[in-house]
Amino acid sequence: MSTSQAISRDVLIDSYAQPGETTIDDVRLRIADALATVEPAAGRDAWRSRFLEVQRAGFIPAGRIAAHAGTGVASTMVNCFVQPIGDSIADAQGDCPSIYEALRQTAETLRLGGGVGLDFSPIRPHGASVGIGITRAAGPLDFIRLFETSSGVLEKMTSRRSAQMAVLRCDHPDIEAFVDAKRPGGLSRFNLSVAVTDEFMRAVQTSGDVELVHLAEPGAEQKAAGATRRADGKWVYRRLPASALWAHIVRAAYENGEPGLLFLDRVNADNNLGYCETIHATNPCGEQPLPAYGACCLGSFDLTQLVRAPFESEPRFAFDELARLVPVAVRMLDNVIDCTGWPWPQQRDQAFSKRRIGLGFTGLGDALIMMGLHYGSDAARQTASAIARCLRDHAYAASIALAAERGSFPAFDAAGLLRDGSFASRLPASLQSEIRRCGLRNSHLLSIAPAGSVSLAFADNASSGIEPAYAWNYLRHRRRRTSPDVVAYVVEDHAWREFQRLHGPAAELTPAFVTALDLSCEDHLAMVAAVAPCIDGAISKTVNAPKGCSYGEFDALYRNAWTAGLKGITAFRPGGVLGSVLHVPASPI
């Protein structure tokens, strides 16, 4: 592997290393030490060695694990959380805290290092009747701004950007204002997703209408204006053509990069735990659909380390090595649940009851290049699917073995888990039989996260997650933790560096060297569709539409994501509206 580049070393030191740590191996050893404390004393040293070895072989625990494991600091090793929120300023509603209690819980989760997703749909629409002391509701958007202000204060205190996702249902009366919330001058610290139902998508296809509804009773003026109450107790505030709302959503995404879409019915139908929970939101980057107070820890395999004979005539992927490493990685992430700190007891209870983990991969784009495969080709998709299938089968086998050793997750129910339509019902028959016989340690095992910073720090800037490379070399501006000055770094793609190391800087790049912007929208979507059937969580993927992408092509992209059975879609079209910390020079650096 090439000598680490300057930005990789600085990100490692600034974001993950503790005082006295200067190398990747220093961080790996601390992680191995911390996670081995869960093991029985007699086998602890052996597991510590295995945890270190699997990291050296390509397993990268997620950023919160790398930064917080074994530090003794009050923090969490869990990246992904979903925070519930009710429709009341002061009073809890069942299991949902009041708005200000949710704000307090979110702030503490962010302060301790977690990323938070929130579904603001329970909050009644702007202008609705509220009750004694308040004549009209503020609406979800005002409260999202409140949460954004709070996170801005935290960022000044912690020097770490908060990660948050705001979700609103497609049938909420304030959906149009929500869709426009990321236009210039709007929200900047939230990712936005519209939770879309199959009913809405069918109405879009058939030129039907959508009813904008809410449980809260509207005020007298709204009643007079024609609001009606449905049999399910919800009030219909407005009715409009589904195609008009769809166009509003897609136009905002086309111009601003957001909102993304969360296909809610697909998420819940696929959910292994659909028998005991309902999901309304995801973590900030979308790779983990989670219930109220749900949480998940993450880790990724650097696929570039598993390519044998890269750039040669007969490169291959080491499926046997991945199969050997997966059980150790599953055990490490299962141990995280037992030794991490939890911002709130409700999160701990959810985690201990279901023991979700998210094992995935990073460096897919670069690994394909190293094997001579064009990202947009059938061969690349077949290889990616085979890698995901190997990961799935060996992760589930490892979790079955852990259940035999440590017990199943407390909410385990074999019939519910393997019900028709669930992810687990599509596992190979042999694994389903073993789940019925031995149980399962973790309700969910698989997730493909962005893995951007850890790929930069621990994998020499391998292409992040499932993404193709952004560019072979570019400028990136970042502020170091130890200095207020913004530093400009020359950043180079790992596969590009390896190719130059092996063949010299004058060698012509192979046809496999394609960047995100060289690919069509269909190429991006097809890769997600190839891998998604093997992922029980979700996939964080931004479709980088070509600069010349038309509105019609963008609209088709969003429609095709639903037709393909994906759990969500986010796309970005380069333009002048949004800035970037990255700059690709006109000629190679």
Instruction: Identify the pLDDT of residue 128.
Output: 82
pLDDT bucket at 226, cuts 50 / 70 / 90 = low
Q: At what angle do helices 242-256 and 198-205 cross, to 10 degrees?
A: 100
Q: Pick the catalytic residue: 80, 170, 285, 521?
A: 285
Instruction: Identify the pLDDT of residue 587.
Output: 34
Laid out side by side, the sheet with 209-214 consists of: 209-214, 235-241, 228-229
- CB 319, CB 158: distance < 8 Å: no
Instruction: Identify the pLDDT of residue 68.
Output: 96
Beta strands 228-229; 235-241: pairing state = antiparallel
Instruction: Identify the pLDDT of residue 133.
Output: 56
Residue 99 host element (H or E): helix 99-111
Higher pLDDT, 226 or 374: 374
Residue 58 has pLDDT above 60, yes or no: yes
Instruction: Identify the pLDDT of residue 223.
Output: 59
Nearest 5°: phi and psi at 264? -65, -40
Higher pLDDT, 24 or 217: 24
Give me the residues paired with residue 118 across strands. 83, 166
Q: Pick the catalytic residue: 79, 283, 335, 442?
A: 283
Strands (E) in 233-326, as ranges, are 235-241, 260-263, 281-282, 289-290, 295-302, 307-308, 316-317
Higher pLDDT, 146 or 576: 146
pLDDT in tens, 251-302: 999 999 999 999 999 999 999 999 999 999 999 999 999 999 999 999 999 9
* Range of weakest confidence among 164-173, 431-440, 484-493: 484-493
The encoded tokens of residue 60 equal 């990268």
- Write the DSSP assignment of 328-380 as a string of letters: HHHHHHHHHHHHS--SSHHHHHHHHHH--EEEEEE-HHHHHHHTT--TTSHHH
Tell me if residue 581 falls in helix, strand or coil: coil
Instruction: Identify the pLDDT of residue 396.
Output: 99
Q: At what angle do helices 378-406 and 521-531 cross, to 10 degrees?
A: 30
Residue 219 has pLDDT above 90, yes or no: no
The whole-angstrom separation of Cα 167 and Cα 262 is 8
Mean pLDDT, range 149-156, rounded to an integer:
89
Terminal C-alpha separation, the chain: 21
Of residues 556, 546, 543, 574, the one with CA closest to residue 260? 543
Residue 323 has pLDDT above 70, yes or no: yes
Tell me if residue 567 falls in helix, strand or coil: coil
Query: Taking the model in full, what pTM does it have?
Result: 0.95
Residue 67 has pLDDT above 60, yes or no: yes
Residue 345 has pLDDT above 90, yes or no: yes
The whole-angstrom separation of Cα 276 and Cα 210 is 29
Instruction: Identify the pLDDT of residue 579.
Output: 43
Q: Give 180's Cβ-side CA count (13 Å radius).
A: 6
Q: Is 285 a catalytic residue?
A: yes
Q: Is the dihedral of CA 333, 337, 342, 348 positive or negative?
A: positive
Beta strands 357-362; 295-302: pairing state = parallel
Q: Is 283 a catalytic residue?
A: yes
Count CB atoms within 10 A of the CB of residue 463.
29
Instruction: Identify the pLDDT of residue 132.
Output: 57
Q: Pick the catalytic residue: 287, 434, 467, 498?
A: 287
* Cα-based distances in Å from 409 to 349, 400, 404: 12, 11, 11
pLDDT in tens, 378-407: 999 999 999 999 999 999 999 999 999 999
The whole-angstrom separation of Cα 545 and Cα 523 is 10
Residue 331 has pLDDT above 50, yes or no: yes
Nearest 5°: phi and psi at 463? -50, 140
Instruction: Identify the pLDDT of residue 1.
Output: 46
Tell me if residue 387 falls in helix, strand or coil: helix
The whole-angstrom separation of Cα 538 and Cα 540 is 7
The whole-angstrom separation of Cα 286 and Cα 33 is 30
The whole-angstrom separation of Cα 513 and Cα 369 is 6
Mean pLDDT, range 103-118, rounded to an integer:
96
The rounded percent of the chain whose pLDDT value lies above 70 is: 94
The encoded tokens of residue 577 equal 């509206």
The whole-angstrom separation of Cα 401 and Cα 397 is 6
Instruction: Identify the pLDDT of residue 584.
Output: 46
* Average pLDDT of the residues of the chain: 93
Instruction: Identify the pLDDT of residue 218.
Output: 63
Give me the residues paired with residue 492 across strands. 473
Instruction: Identify the pLDDT of residue 588.
Output: 35
pLDDT bucket at 232, cuts 50 / 70 / 90 = confident
Instruction: Identify the pLDDT of residue 582.
Output: 45
Instruction: Identify the pLDDT of residue 578.
Output: 46
Q: Give 283's Cβ-side CA count (13 Å radius).
A: 27
Instruction: Identify the pLDDT of residue 156.
Output: 81
CA angle at residue 35 from 34 to 36, to 5 degrees? 95
pLDDT bucket at 585, cuts 50 / 70 / 90 = very low
pLDDT in tens, 352-382: 999 999 999 999 999 999 999 999 999 999 9
| SS3 per residue for 43-67 | HHHHHHHHHHHHHHCCEEECHHHHH
Strands (E) in 186-324, as ranges, are 191-196, 209-214, 228-229, 235-241, 260-263, 281-282, 289-290, 295-302, 307-308, 316-317
pLDDT in tens, 551-573: 999 999 999 999 999 999 999 98
Of residues 509, 473, 499, 361, the one with CA closest to residue 6? 473
The whole-angstrom separation of Cα 361 and Cα 10 is 23
Determine if the peptide bond prior to 259 is cis (ω within 30°).
Answer: yes
Give me the residues paired with residue 166 across strands. 118, 192
Instruction: Identify the pLDDT of residue 363.
Output: 98
